[in-house]
Structure 1
C-alpha cells in the first residue's frame, strides 16, 4: 500500500489541487490529512469541498477547532486571528459540521498514528530532540504497537528517528529507507503555507510494503490565492516564494514574480 500524507492546507485550494494531481499520478491508494484544513488563506469552502469530494480522511488541527469555536482565537497570532474571524463568516453549516466531526487521531495501519501535532494536544510544537523523545515515551506507554507517527503543525518537512538505543536522529535525506527496529516521527510539511524557505506545496509519501518514505514538493501558481487574501485584508507571508524565484534566474520565474508584485503585501 502507498499512503500519501498531507497537512496544513490552510484554505489554499490551488496548492491542494496541485498536490492531489501529483498524488493521483503516483499510484497512491490512500490519502490522510493531518489537519489545519482552514485558516490563513481565503478559500475555505472550496478546500473543504475538494477534501469531501475526494473522500480524504483527516484529523482536526488547531485552526479547524478555532473556526468552529472549540479553541479560543487568542492561541494564535494577529494574522491567523483575522483569517479565522473571516473564515467563520463564510463557512456553511455543512462546513462547520464537517470540521467539528473530525477526530483527533487516525490509524491508517495499526502501527501508524496520524495526529496534528502531538497526541491529545493540537497546539504543542514538536521541535527539539527532548520533545520528540518525550512523545515517543508517551506513545510507547499508551500504544506500543505504533512505530510511525505522522505529525504536522510546524509547516516544516522533516523526519525524526529514535533508535532502539534511545538516540534521537534527524535524517536529512528526502528518500528514507525505514529501519523496522526504530521509531519515526514524520512531518510532511505544509500544503498551503510552508515555512521552510520553499514556497512549493509539500507532502510525504509512504510505501508501506517497501518501507520507504519520501518527501515531495509540488509547483503551483499562488497568484490567485494571494490576490484573494489581499482583497480581504489578510496578509500571509510569502517572501520565500519571491526569494526562491529570483535565485533561480529563469525567465518563467521572473514572470511569476512580476505577476506577484501587486499581490504580495
Structure 2
C-alpha cells in the first residue's frame, strides 16, 4: 500500500513452483517494509512444489496476473501440455485450481490503461506477463541464435503495439526471466523483475533469427524488483536474493529433471 503519499511496491514473476526461492524473496520484501506485491505470472509450472506454492500464496494478499503457463495448465488438453505443465495440473487440488483461474488475464485492456488496482499501484502503472499484446512474447529481449540480446528501441516500440495510453509511466512485465529495466525516450520505465524460481531455461519456440535459445542468469539467486515513485518519476531497484537452492535442485533430480536441477544450482543450462 502507498505510504506517506508515495507509491512503492515489489514485483515478482516466474516463480515456477519454487517455494524455497519464493519464501526467501518474501522475507526480503518484508524486511524492506514493503506491503504490496504484484506477481506477474508463471507461478506454479515446473517439477517442484506447485501445490505447496499455491497454498502458500493463497494466504498472501498479493495481486496476480496470469502468465502463459496459467493459460496452458488450465485450458490445454493434457496431450498438448509440456511435462512441467502436465505435472503441475496433476498436483493441484480444487481450491488451488480455482485460485489460479482467478488470476487476471494479461490481455485485459484495463491492465494496459492503469485501470486495474489504481488505488494500490497508481493510475500510471500498466502490467502484463510477456508484452501488452501477447503472453508469450518477450518485450525486452530478442532471441538471436542460441542467446537472447537486449531488444532495440524499435523492437520494443513495435511490441508495445500502441496499446499503452500516454499517461502510463511504468510498465511491468515478466516471461523472459531476465532482470532488466529500460527507460524509453518518452520516459516510460519498463521493468522485468526476473525470475524468482527458475534462473535458466532453454526454448525451441521458433523466432525469426533463432530456432533454439537459452536464457541464463549465471547465478542460482532468486530475483525480484522494487519500484518506487520519486519526484513524479518511477525508479527501480533490481534485487538478487541468495537462498538455499539445494533442496529444490535435489527435488528436480528426484522428479527426473536434470535440466532443472543444473539450472537451479548454477544459473546455466547444461551443455551436451
| TM-score normalised to structure 2 length | 0.74
8 A contact 1:41–1:225 mirrored in 2: no
Which residue, out of 110, 118, 121, partners 2:134?
Answer: 121
Which residue, out of 162, 172, 183, partners 1:150?
Answer: 172
| CA deviation string 1:200-251 (max 9, x = no partner) | 000000122453210000011111112222222233445466558xxxxxxx
- Pairing 1:190–2:202 present: no
Q: 2:266, 2:27 → 1: CA distance?
A: 26
CA distance 1:92–1:72, change in 2 (3 Å): closer
Which residue, out of 34, 37, 48, partners 1:31?
Answer: 37
Corresponding residue for 2:85? 84
Q: Which has the higher helix share?
A: 1
Q: 2:122, 2:223 → 1: CA distance?
A: 22
- Pairing 1:135–2:136 present: no
Corresponding residue for 1:6? 12
| CA deviation string 1:174-201 (max 9, x = no partner) | xxxxxxxx01211100000123212100
Q: 1:157, 1:72 → 2: CA distance?
A: 32
- Pairing 1:41–2:47 present: yes
| CA deviation string 1:11-43 (max 9, x = no partner) | 000000000000000011310000000112320
Q: 2:10, 2:229 → 1: CA distance?
A: 11
Q: 1:184, 1:152 → 2: CA distance?
A: 14
Corresponding residue for 2:226? 205
8 A contact 1:8–1:153 mirrored in 2: yes
Q: 1:94, 1:131 → 2: CA distance?
A: 40
Corresponding residue for 1:248? none
Which consecutive aligned stretches of 4+ in structure 1 deviate over 6 angstroms post-superposition? Answer: none
CA distance 1:72–1:125, change in 2 (3 Å): farther
Unmatched 5+ stretches in structure 1? 76-80, 165-181, 245-265
Which residue, out of 237, 245, 249, partners 1:226?
Answer: 249
| Secondary structure, counterpart of 1:146 in structure 2 | coil
Corresponding residue for 1:54? 60
Count of equivalent residues: 220
| Secondary structure, counterpart of 2:58 in structure 1 | helix
Unmatched 5+ stretches in structure 2? 1-6, 142-150, 200-215, 268-272
CA distance 1:137–1:192, change in 2 (3 Å): same
- Pairing 1:112–2:125 present: yes
